[in-house]
Amino acid sequence: MDILKSWKNREKIKKVFARTDISLANEELKQKVEGIVKEIRESGDTALLKYTELFDGVKLSNLKVKPAKIEKVYNLVAPEFLRSLELAAKNITDFHKYQPFVSWTKKYEDGVILGQRYQPIESVGIYVPGGRAPYISTVLMTAIPAKVAGVKKVILCTPPSKEGISPYILAAAKLAEVDEIYQVGGAQAIAALAFGTTTIPKVDKIVGPGNIYVTLAKRAVYGYVSLDMVAGPTEIAVIADDSGNPQFIAADLLSQAEHDPLSTTILITTSEDLALKVSKAVETQAKLLLRQEIIQQSLTNSAIILTKTIAEAIELANEFAPEHLELQVENPWEVVDKIRHAGAIFLGAWSTESVGDYFAGPSHVLPTCKSARFFSPLGIEDFLKRSSIISYTKQALNKYGQEIINIANLEGFDAHAMAVKIRRESL
């Protein structure tokens, strides 16, 4: 990894930080995805079967996974794997139960009652990527918060292989109480969830990560359906002082580099000695890993940045606004309040990013590409909607009616004014 100095290589640092949402940059691919979405909307299941054979190499006659198949697979999964999933699911459930969203009302003078009412979204589609790996943990990290929020119907779409859907994804789906599972992926799955087909029902919201085709499809269907966020490639930043463990840090950087050739991994440190040791450890550890080709491509997007102070390191991290941020410094709790932009923050040397990806409890569906400046991690609030409660008495409307009439007249909406005026005149 390149070692850059904040006081000397500012332009190179800006270039590393300037990763953009790749879906914005490829007009040809955007048009291709929009064509797929249009065909799914017009031709439904016929187009879904066509694209599943074309993109996944699987010829299907039935898109839905039958409950009997799920039950059979679940009973064949190794007990130690189920135990790990069950413990992770418990942590995810417990964490999201502590995210209270309470309906409320308040009574004011003249009998006015105002408030808010929270209700779950009725149906949600969760997208679970296939491709380079079966994202088993994503099933739990998306479906469980939805169920905790009270969503009635959770539908899962994931691309099949020639052997079918991974049995581990099916087992995780059963554990997370997913209601229906469909073996379809990519842009075509997003379109099917957004518009509905003969087989796949239309949902109210789509959540979950995916590749550039999925990202572009989510953009194309936004407005017909609600979305969690439009995410790009994964990323991690580590802030470290001279107390940092170079082997730990290197391993954590590589844990994100193995995801995608476009992943970005950053170490920001005040210690030149640590920077050199981490660079060497990354090179050594990478040779032991399975996804070496992906990792090497990813590391070309990455860097180690030297700063003169931790305060400067924090400001650079806030500028980067990473999906994952680790604080491997001597006193992380003294630093955390200064972090303004990050999807998930990991405190201390033992809080590896892998804990968050699989087990701790918070959802690992996080904002990327600097969107941590305005997006939040997936949580139960993503599966709830608010209604405002407004109740006026005749006394209150009579008291404040002229103010309402004045504002309506200023905007030129005399029918709004009349709706108040006619009531006041009836008193």
Q: Is 323 an annotated catalytic residue?
A: yes
Q: Is 319 an annotated catalytic residue?
A: no
Q: Which of 324, 326, 353, 364 is labelled catalytic? A: 324
Q: Which of 39, 235, 323, 353 is labelled catalytic? A: 323
Consecutive H or E run containing 345: strand 344-347
Nearest to 259 by CA among 324, 314, 196: 324
User: Locate tokens 């914005």: which residue?
Assistant: 24
- Alpha-helical segments (H) within 342-393: 353-358
- Phi/psi for 363 (5° steps) reads -65, 140
β strands within 76-225, DSSP E: 104-107, 113-120, 123-127, 153-158, 180-183, 205-207
Nearest to 361 by CA among 136, 169, 96: 96
| 256 DSSP 8-state letter | H
- Phi/psi for 156 (5° steps) reads -110, 135
Nearest to 305 by CA among 352, 257, 240, 233: 240
Q: What is residue 47's three-state secondary structure?
A: helix
Do 237 and 317 contact (CB within 8 A), yes or no? yes
Q: At what angle do helices 310-320 and 10-17 cross, to 10 degrees?
A: 40
Residues 149-152: contacts with CB within 8 Å, 24+ apart?
A: 149/96, 149/120, 149/121, 149/380, 149/382, 149/383, 149/384, 150/119, 150/120, 150/383, 151/120, 151/121, 151/122, 151/123, 151/124, 151/383, 152/120, 152/122, 152/123
CA atoms of 176 and 383, how far apart (whole Å): 15
- Phi/psi for 240 (5° steps) reads -140, 145
Active site residue ranges:
323-324
